[in-house]
Amino acid sequence: MSVSMAIIGGTGVYDPNILSNIRDVTVDTPYGQVTVKVGEYQGREVAFMNRHGAGHSVPPHLINYRANIAGLKILGVKSILATAAVGSLNTAMKPGDFVFVDQFLDFTKSRVQTFFEGGEQGVIHADVTEPYCAEMRKIMAQVAEKNGLSYHQGGVYVTTEGPRFETPAEIKMYRQLGGDLVGMTSVPEVVLAREAEMCYATVCMVTNFAAGISPTNLTHQEVLDVMAENAANLRQLAMGTMALLAPDRQCTCHTALGGPIHELLKG
């Protein structure tokens, strides 16, 4: 079985009515076991991975990012569309807007960020000049335009450790460093996808303005409420993008490292 496309996100994206012939698929990886839902959409197989597990039970700093990306790689996935709820540091990027980020700033602290840890695995220095697939971001913009969605092409995603929200002082610093959005999941997911030679793009949904910008204290319920209000648009964007991605498309993301990940995943 080979599944060429995957969506990583939560229940805001997954809708059983989108897919047919849905089944659970469990994959054993060198980093642990992962389970994804696989179904058919417009004659293609698409995998859905719930990043935070059933019932949003896994906090961002404890997600097994390596197992998730390795599992999708073993399934045959070539293109990953990740979804993320984010806070905005940029007043032009308002709650309800979509942002197709093109850069990140990493402020995580405790996460394993590579498949290659020396020894038999070797050492790899991945190039992340363009961490988010440019071709996928272009297609996402086309879908957003077609459906009249409010979007921004490009933005800097600041990844924090979580699970707490940020202080106003931290937000001020991130803004001064050029950050546009703040979230807790893009790193190391995007880096591992690059090491695994997979196209990876993130569609961020702005759910609130960050601490010190928002006039009220932040709550997780606020995030869930905005996600629910915009869930249909997010699904429309995600599935529209998947429909335009040819399963056999070639991209420079697929040859980023020259193939060493294939040998590593045999372990």
List the domain boundaries for the chain.
5-253
Cα–Cα distance for residue pair 103/137, rounded to 1 Å: 12
User: Is the entire prediction scored with pTM above 0.75?
Assistant: yes
> In the CATH scheme, what is the homologous superfamily, with its name and number, of domain 5-253?
Nucleoside phosphorylase domain (3.40.50.1580)
pLDDT at 153: 98
Q: Which residues pair with 7 in a beta bridge?
A: 48, 81
Per-residue confidence (pLDDT) for residue 28, from 0 to 100: 96
pLDDT, residue 177, reads: 98
Point out the residues of the chain with pLDDT beneath 50.
1, 267
Going by C-alpha positions, the residue among 25, 66, 67 that lies closest to residue 45 is: 25
In this predicted structure, what is the pLDDT of residue 16? 58
What pLDDT was estimated at residue 54? 74
Q: What is the pLDDT of residue 122?
A: 82
- Asked if residue 191 lies in contact with residue 136, where contact means CB atoms within 8 angstroms, the answer is no
CA 246: distance to chain centroid?
A: 20
- Model pLDDT, residue 212: 80
Report the pLDDT value the prediction gives residue 52, as an integer from 0 to 100.
82
